[in-house]
A and B are shown apart, each in its own frame.
Chain A
Amino acid sequence: MLLIDCPHCGPRPELEFRYGGEAHVARPAEPATVDDAQWMAFLYLRSNPKGLHFERWRHMSGCGRFFNCARDTVSDKILKTYPAGQARPSLEALGLAPVDHEVRA
Chain B
Amino acid sequence: MKFSAYALLKNALTGSVWPEQWSSPEPRASYDVVIVGAGGHGLATAYYLASEHGIRNVAVLEKGWLGGGNTGRNTTIIRSNYLWEESQKLYEHAVKLWEGLSQELNYNVMYSPRGVMMLAHTLHDVQSAKRHIHANRLGGIDNEWLTPEQAQAFCPILNVGPNIRYPVLGAALQRRGGTARHDAVAWGYARAASKRGVHIIQNCEVTGIRRAPSGEVIGVETGKGFIGAKRVGVVAAGHTSVLMGMADVRMPLESYPLQALVSEPVKPVMPCVVMSNTVHAYMSQSDKGELVIGAGTDAYTSYSQTGGLHISAHTLDAICELFPVVRRMKMLRNWGGIVDVTPDRSPIIGKTPVEGLFVNCGWGTGGFKATPGSGHVFAHTLATGEPYAINAPFTLDRFLTGRLIDEAAAAAVAH
Contacts and interface: CB of A to CB of B under 8 A. Distances in A.
A71 B252 contact: no
Given A45-B250, A55-B301, A73-B301, A36 B309 contact: no
B250 A47 contact: yes
Contacts of B123: none
A59 interface: no
Contacts of A21: 254
B299 A19 contact: yes
A91 interface: no
Interface residues of A, number: 28
Nearest to A35: B400
B299 A105 contact: no
A19 B308 CA distance: 14
B343 A44 contact: yes
B308 A50 contact: no
Contacts of B309: 1
Contacts, number: 70
Contact of A73 (B299, B303, B310): B303
Nearest to B344: A44
A53 B300 CA distance: 11
A48 B301 contact: yes
A87 interface: no
Contacts of A14: 299, 308, 310
B110 interface: no
A24 interface: no
Interface of B: 239, 241-242, 245, 250-255, 299-304, 308-310, 343, 399-401
Given A48-B253, A76-B304, 20 more contacts: A15-B310, A18-B299, A19-B300, A40-B252, A40-B399, A43-B343, A45-B251, A46-B250, A48-B241, A48-B242, A48-B251, A48-B255, A49-B242, A50-B239, A55-B300, A55-B301, A73-B301, A73-B304, A74-B302, A105-B245
26 contacts: A2-B300, A2-B308, A14-B308, A14-B310, A15-B310, A18-B299, A19-B300, A37-B400, A40-B399, A41-B250, A43-B399, A44-B399, A45-B251, A45-B399, A46-B254, A48-B253, A48-B254, A49-B241, A49-B242, A50-B241, A50-B255, A53-B301, A55-B300, A76-B302, A76-B304, A105-B245
